[in-house]
Amino acid sequence: IFANILRAPEDPILGVTVAYNKDPSPVKLNLGVGAYRTEEGKPLVLNVVRRAEQLLVNDRSRVKEYLPIVGLADFNKLSAKLILGADSPAIKGNLVTTVQCLSGTGSLRVGAEFLAKHYYQRTIYIPNPTWGNHTKIFNLAGLTVKTYRYYDPLTRGLNIQGLLEDLGSAPSGAIVLLHACAHNPTGVDPTLEQWEQIRRLIRSKSLLPFFDSAYQGFASGSLDGDAQSVRMFVGDGGECFIAQSYAKNMGLYGERVGALSIVCRTADVASRVESQLKLVIRPMYSSPPIHGASIVSAILKDRNLYNEWTLELKAMADRIITMRKQLFDALCARGTPGDWSHIIKQIGMFTFTGLSTKQVMFMTKEYHIYLTSDGRISMAGLSSGTVPHLADAIHAAVTT
Ligand code: PMP
């Protein structure tokens, strides 16, 4: 009965890895997927995660029963604190409902399904460009997706004018997807002053902010620093949605651990919202997995483990900054035509190189370097040993 089924295209990001895996070249390099790699090019399990797992294994009182629909209570509380701040008045006033979800993607999807069911305004504005999965997540949840201007290819910076104009002409109540920090794929974030402008516009038009926080700890070098955009919005007392992921900042990619928080105006509303979130989750996957959330709560609730985590997180972020510097220097040393200073200015895991699809294809064919066709490079996939190869490839792509 499925004889005529059409073959679906590969995912634009995960498909890069599929192509990479098929390439027998010994010099091949995967800069597609946003996963951290060590200087040796290996995946990294944080030491603090190993320690937390050891504690969990040794605790014989732990069982494998189902979690509640909303997940692990400790994990939810600690996740809200991590993004909103330990002294957040919204948390103290019980204005926040947090549910454990399947990493960032699952948190976005549950939030989107809730909105499609309970919110009068079905249009969501996402930045152009944005992480490729956003459009699909929101469309499939039943929302209409529109874009707002974000990146200016000429300045390789934020198009704040375009952003404010587009959100300014959005219909009242529309949902606005914002990257909390380390915008993917551009690596360009608003300054705090620009965030304040965005916040004022969003509130004055009664738009609904939906933050995607997938890189807390990778932008400013501090967890609190990277939560400032979100805290600015929550601080004004208005509603706000936040999807958090622990994939990158704890390296828990495959554990699928994340959280959706919805900040409401009263505690009573928050508790009613939570009751409806349960109705979204129960028929979708019933309840979330226990292991990843237990690791995260063990780390967040213990001062020593928490401190160790912040150091390991900083080390990952710093290595990425070193790679930016090395790649920039290598291109300068080769006299590669063009201004490459955006490599060191951009923030987070990615560099939005400005290379065209044609140049990307050339680099893949001739140099076995794999990246997404929009020219995005995952800096975490680089090492001192592979920077020269990448610089040679970019130089050749630009000059041939
Ligand atoms: N949002 C953004 C902007 C991302 O880059 C990612 C990961 N690539 C996610 C959300 C979700 O990732 P995950 O589901 O693995 O947490």
Which CATH number do you get for residue 352?
3.90.1150.10
pLDDT for residue 95: 98
Question: Measuring from atom 13 of ligand 1, which residue has the nearest CA?
Answer: 104
- Regarding whether 326 and 289 lie in a shared domain, the answer is no
Active-site entry in 166, 189, 212, 392: 212
- Regarding whether 250 and 339 lie in a shared domain, the answer is no
- Regarding whether 240 and 366 lie in a shared domain, the answer is no
Question: Measuring from atom 9 of ligand 1, which residue has the nearest CA?
Answer: 104
The beta-strand segments (E) located in the chain are 29-30, 96-102, 123-128, 144-149, 151-152, 157-158, 175-179, 208-213, 240-245, 257-263, 350-352, 369-370, 376-378
pLDDT for residue 11: 82
Is the pLDDT score of 16 beyond 90? no
Q: Classify residue 218 by its DSSP letter.
A: S
212 lines ligand 1 (CB under 6 A): yes
- Ligand 1 centroid, distance to 125 Cα (angstroms): 18
Relative to beta strand 29-30, strand 369-370 is parallel
Mean pLDDT of 88-103: 98
Mean pLDDT of 151-174: 96
- Regarding whether 363 and 291 lie in a shared domain, the answer is no
Is the pLDDT score of 101 beyond 90? yes
Relative to beta strand 151-152, strand 208-213 is unpaired
pLDDT for residue 13: 80
- Regarding whether 199 and 78 lie in a shared domain, the answer is yes
Asked if residues 79 and 244 have their Cβ atoms less than 8 Å apart, the reply is: yes
292 lines ligand 1 (CB under 6 A): no
The answer to whether residue 311 sits within a structural domain is no
- Regarding whether 146 and 275 lie in a shared domain, the answer is yes
Counting ligand 1 atoms within 8 A of each CB, the residue from 16, 181, 212 with the most, and so the one to mutate, is 212
Question: Measuring from atom 7 of ligand 1, which residue has the nearest CA?
Answer: 214
The answer to whether residue 54 sits within a structural domain is no
- Establish whether 212 is a catalytic residue: yes
Mean pLDDT of 354-361: 94
105 lines ligand 1 (CB under 6 A): yes
The answer to whether residue 238 sits within a structural domain is yes
Count of alpha carbons within 13 Å of 283, Cβ hemisphere only? 5
- Regarding whether 370 and 278 lie in a shared domain, the answer is no
Residue of 121, 315, 91, 144 whose CA lies nearest to 218: 315
pLDDT for residue 33: 80
Active-site entry in 131, 166, 340, 392: 131
- Domain total for the chain? 2
Counting ligand 1 atoms within 8 A of each CB, the residue from 126, 184, 186 with the most, and so the one to mutate, is 184
Give whole-number Cα distances, 44 to 3, 47, 235, 306, 393, in Å: 42, 9, 36, 18, 27
Percent of the chain with pLDDT over 90: 94
Mean pLDDT of 223-251: 97
Mean pLDDT of 324-348: 95
pLDDT for residue 221: 83
- Regarding whether 168 and 134 lie in a shared domain, the answer is yes
Mean pLDDT of 131-144: 97
- Regarding whether 324 and 214 lie in a shared domain, the answer is no
- Ligand 1 centroid, distance to 132 Cα (angstroms): 10
Q: Could you give the CA distance from residue 313 to residue 329 in angstroms, rounded to a whole number?
A: 25
Is the pLDDT score of 303 beyond 90? yes
Counting ligand 1 atoms within 8 A of each CB, the residue from 14, 105, 215 with the most, and so the one to mutate, is 105
pLDDT for residue 214: 98
Find the length of the chain: 400
- Regarding whether 23 and 70 lie in a shared domain, the answer is no
pLDDT for residue 9: 87
Active-site entry in 248, 340, 374, 392: 248
Is the pLDDT score of 325 beyond 90? yes
The answer to whether residue 266 sits within a structural domain is yes
**Domain extent at residue 374:** 14-44+318-399
- Establish whether 248 is a catalytic residue: yes
The answer to whether residue 284 sits within a structural domain is yes
Is the pLDDT score of 197 beyond 90? yes
- Regarding whether 371 and 273 lie in a shared domain, the answer is no
- Ligand 1 centroid, distance to 392 Cα (angstroms): 30
For residue 145, name the pLDDT band (cuts at 50, 70, 90).
very high
pLDDT for residue 391: 97
Last residue of a domain, one of 242, 269, 301: 301
Percent of the chain with pLDDT over 70: 100
Last residue of a domain, one of 301, 330, 360: 301
Predicted confidence (pLDDT) per residue in 372-393, tens digit = 999 999 999 999 999 999 999 9
Predicted confidence (pLDDT) per residue in 36-87, tens digit = 999 998 999 999 999 999 999 999 999 999 999 999 999 999 999 999 999 9
Last residue of a domain, one of 266, 301, 336: 301
For residue 107, name the pLDDT band (cuts at 50, 70, 90).
very high
- Regarding whether 193 and 324 lie in a shared domain, the answer is no
pLDDT for residue 17: 87
The answer to whether residue 283 sits within a structural domain is yes
The answer to whether residue 76 sits within a structural domain is yes
The answer to whether residue 306 sits within a structural domain is no
CATH code at 260? 3.40.640.10
- Ligand 1 centroid, distance to 336 Cα (angstroms): 32
